[in-house]
Amino acid sequence: MKRKALRAVAGRAVDAEAVAARARELGVLGWVRPTGEIHAEGPPDAVEALIAGFGDAEQVRVEGHEQFGIRGVSAGVFVVQEHQATAHHYDLRLEVEGVMRSWAVPKGPSLDPAAKRLAVEVEDHSLAHNDFEGTLGDGGVIIWDRGTYEQGGRVAWPEAIERGHAVFVLHGEKLRGGFALQRTRPGAKPQWLLIKRRDEEAQPGSDIVGERPESVVSGRTLADLLEPHG
């Protein structure tokens, strides 16, 4: 099916819930912000019907959105902590209903949509743990990235997590744009894939954990933290 993608700005605040409901009626994917910016993709007639009244629209590339969501509304905080323990990994934590839902990502997050990262679901943590940076026994933790995030998808959170497919947008110092968590194996330690979505923040071929190893709080790397001092 031929698809078209348009982006427009209304120049005024809009009823984002009404726009999103209309988009879903039309079968249009993308997103809207309450400030009036809209990205719509789908059958040309449906996209143009949704955009009508928003003013001038610019044709842009199709990004492959799975839903029509509302952006610009924070769902809480997120943090990625680089952790040297028995095994080196990165802990991705998203605030959901007052706790930090957590996944251990051995290779760390990526901004490359082609890089599908294994993420093992682990126990929830308290929000107080988000600020921890320091040594732990022979290992240690740095705050590799942090910020706020928006929940996406057609299914409300936390049900989206329970169903095994959660879409979200990160606003961090290093990680930005859309991501998805897809559960691939249930069980005592469910396995997921963490995938960067193909949007304007994607960086194909990049290695963000290698390029930006430092803590966003102290500027130290994990190696700096663990280096013995005599």
Assess whether 171 and 66 both reside in one domain.
Answer: no
Instruction: Please tell me whether residue 3 adopts helix, strand or coil conformation.
Output: coil
Question: What number of other Cβ atoms are within 10 A of residue 88's Cβ?
Answer: 13
pLDDT on residue 204 = 96
Assess whether 85 and 153 both reside in one domain.
Answer: yes
| Domain span including residue 9 | 4-70
pTM attached to this predicted model? 0.80
Tens of pLDDT along the chain (230 residues) come to: 578 999 998 888 899 999 999 999 999 998 898 888 999 999 999 999 999 888 788 998 887 777 788 888 899 999 999 999 889 999 999 999 999 999 999 999 999 999 999 999 999 999 999 999 999 888 999 999 999 999 987 788 999 999 999 999 999 999 999 999 999 999 889 999 999 998 889 999 999 999 999 999 999 999 999 987 43
| Rounded Cα gap, residues 90 and 113, in angstroms | 18
Assess whether 182 and 161 both reside in one domain.
Answer: yes
Assess whether 47 and 149 both reside in one domain.
Answer: no
Assess whether 54 and 80 both reside in one domain.
Answer: no
CA-nearest of 219, 215, 178 to 29 is: 178
Q: Which two tokens stand for residue 80?
A: 């990625």
Please say which residue of 39, 70, 101 terminates a domain: 70
pLDDT on residue 176 = 97
Name the amino acid, one letter, at 170: L
What's the maximum distance between 2 C-alpha atoms anywhere in the chain?
70
CA 73, chain centre distance (Å): 13
Please say which residue of 48, 70, 92 terminates a domain: 70
pLDDT on residue 230 = 35
Assess whether 132 and 94 both reside in one domain.
Answer: yes
Assess whether 106 and 216 both reside in one domain.
Answer: yes
Number of domains observed in the structure of the chain = 2
Assess whether 48 and 95 both reside in one domain.
Answer: no
Please say which residue of 70, 97, 118 terminates a domain: 70
CATH (domain of 65): 3.30.70.100
Cis before 158 (ω within 30):
yes
